Amino acid sequence: MTRIVPVILCGGSGTRLWPLSRAGFPKQFLSLSGCDSQASLFQESLLRANKIAQAKFDGVSSPAIVVINEEHRFLALDQLQGLTDVKVNLLLEPSGRNTAPALTAAALFALVDEEDPILVVNPADQFVENDPAFIDAIQACIEAVKVDQESKTIAILGIKPIRPETGFGYIKCGKSLRDGQAFIVNEFVEKPDFTTAQTYLASGNYYWNAGIFVLRASTWLKALNEFRPDILTAAKKAMSEITQEKSGDSTFIRPHKEGFNAIPSESIDYAVIEKCPDSKFQVDMIELEAGWSDLGAWDAVWQAGKKDQHNNVSVGDTLLSDVSDSLVYASNRLVSAVGVQNLVIVETADAVLVADRSKSQDVKNIVAQLDQQKREEKNLHRKVARPWGWYDSIDQGERFKVKRIQVKPGASLSLQMHHHRAEHWIIVKGVAQITNGKEVITLKENESTYIPKGRVHRLENLGSEPLEIIEVQSGDYLGEDDIVRFEDVYGRSGT
C-alpha cells in the first residue's frame, strides 16, 4: 500500500511582512490567517497535514516531514505543544539553501525504507480557508500521481486568478484531462508586470502557482538528476550522514552540516518544475478553490482579513475615524488613524510601518536597508523567544540595559559567563534556583542577587509555574554575543 508523506517547507523569512515577521521569528510562526485565528500559519499547515493523514486515501499516511532552519527548531517545538495528535519529523537545515535542496533532503529521508512514497509538498506560510476543499484537491493530485506506473507525473495545484496579480508566478494550462478535472501544464511563467497580468487574467487559461504539488519521491529525484544533478549529488552526500534525536513526539533529523552547506542554493521552480513541460516529466494541474492566499505581503493579509463596513481590517487596540480600505495592526499599544485610505499601518514594540497598500510588496526594500545598516530590527523583536522561555528588552541606554525574563517551568538557561557586563537579578514571580560562581542559592519574590562580570552563573526554574525576573545589565558592551556557554541542555554553541 502506498505511503503518503506530507512535506512542509518551513524555511521562509517573510521579509515583506516586516515588522511583524523577522528573521528570528518569521511569518509562518505568526497568527495571520484572516487576522482572527489564534493558530499560527505553521500550526494550520500541520493541522491540514494531519487531515491528509486522516482522509480515506488508498494509502498509509506517515508523519509529516517539516524542513526547517536549525535556529527555529524550538519555535516549532513550542507551537507543536499546542496541537494534539500531531507527530512530525523535523529535518533541520544548518543553513538556508532554498527549496530545491530542502525537498531533496525530505525525499531522500522518505525513501530510507526503500518504498516510494507519494509526497504532498506545501509551504508552511499559506492561508487556506476551506480545508475540505483543499483535501479534495490533494486527493485528485494523489490519484493523478498513483496511476503513473513509471513515476514521471507531477500534480500541481493552481488558483484561478481573481485580479491581475504581479506578486505570483503563473501556470499556463493546455488540454484538459479526466473530463476537465485536470489540465496539462504547457508553461510556467515568472511574476509578470501589471499589463501582462491583465492579459493572463483575460485569457482564462492562466492560474496562480501556489507552490503546492504532489509527486512520488523517486519522481523528484529522477527529475533533479535530469535537470540539476549537482544538487542531487551534494544532497545525497549530506543525507548519508544524518543523526536523529527524539524530542517528545517529534524527531530531529540533522544532515551533515558541511555537506548540506555545500549544496547549491536553488528553488524548486527554477531547478526542476519550470523545466518539466515538454520533457518526459508531465505536470498535471488541478484547480484549487479553497480560499487560498500566500499572505506574501501586507496587501494579501488585508485581502484575507475580516473587513468592517469601511473595508478596513484592524487588529489589536485600534481607533479609526474616516478611514477606508486600510489595514491597521496594533501589537503593543493604541494605534489611531484619521482621514486616510489604502494604507498599511503595523505597530510593534520597536518599529512602526506605514505604507501605501498597493506598494506593500516593496517593504522588502526597508528590510534591505535594515540589513545594510546592520540594525537588529531586521532579525529580532524586542521580545525574543528562547527555548527556555523569552526575554523582553524594556529599556536601555549608555552602559545599561533592562530586561524582563520569563523561564518556563522546569527550564533553565545555560551555565554561562560574560566578559563585558555584570547583571543584577530581581525575582518578580516564582522561585529561582541560581548558580552564582561556586554558590547555589534559592530566591523568591522581591529577593535579588548580583552577578559580577566574568562570574559563571545559571538561572533555573525548578517550580511548576513560570518564573519571571527583571535583569539589569551594566558594562561597556551589552551585545547578545557576549556570552560563553559551558553547559547547555538545548545543544547551542559554546559562544
* CATH code of 174's domain: 3.90.550.10
Same domain assignment for residues 281 and 322: no
Domain stop point among 293, 324, 354? 293
Same domain assignment for residues 158 and 187: yes
Per-residue pLDDT of the chain (495 residues; tens, 9 = 90+): 678 999 999 987 778 999 999 999 999 999 886 555 578 999 999 999 888 877 766 656 688 999 999 989 989 998 998 788 888 999 999 999 999 999 999 999 998 766 889 999 999 999 999 999 999 999 999 988 987 667 789 999 999 999 998 889 999 998 888 776 789 999 999 899 999 999 999 998 999 999 999 999 999 999 999 999 999 999 999 999 999 988 777 889 999 999 999 999 999 999 999 999 989 999 999 999 999 998 989 999 999 899 999 999 999 999 999 999 999 999 999 999 999 999 999 999 999 999 999 999 899 999 999 999 999 999 999 999 899 999 999 999 999 999 999 999 999 999 999 999 999 999 999 999 999 999 999 999 999 999 999 999 999 999 999 999 999 999 999 988 899 999 988 877 654
Same domain assignment for residues 285 and 334: no
Whether 302 is covered by a domain: the verdict is no
Same domain assignment for residues 364 and 387: no
The model carries a pTM of 0.89
**What pLDDT is stored for residue 32 in this prediction?**
83
Whether 214 is covered by a domain: the verdict is yes
Same domain assignment for residues 82 and 133: yes
d(CA 466, CA 468): 7
**What pLDDT is stored for residue 37 in this prediction?**
58
**What pLDDT is stored for residue 495 in this prediction?**
43
CATH number of residue 465's parent domain: 2.60.120.10
Whether 175 is covered by a domain: the verdict is yes
Same domain assignment for residues 393 and 331: no
Same domain assignment for residues 89 and 211: yes
Q: How many domains does the chain have?
A: 3
Whether 67 is covered by a domain: the verdict is yes
Whether 493 is covered by a domain: the verdict is no
Same domain assignment for residues 269 and 171: yes
Same domain assignment for residues 360 and 398: no
Domain stop point among 293, 317, 348? 293
Same domain assignment for residues 159 and 246: yes
**What pLDDT is stored for residue 259 in this prediction?**
95
Same domain assignment for residues 361 and 282: no
**What pLDDT is stored for residue 34 in this prediction?**
53
Alpha-carbon distances of 105 from 84, 220, 275, rounded to whole Å: 27, 11, 20
Whether 264 is covered by a domain: the verdict is yes
Domain enclosing residue 117, as ranges: 3-293
Same domain assignment for residues 101 and 30: yes
Whether 492 is covered by a domain: the verdict is no
Whether 377 is covered by a domain: the verdict is no
**What pLDDT is stored for residue 56 in this prediction?**
60
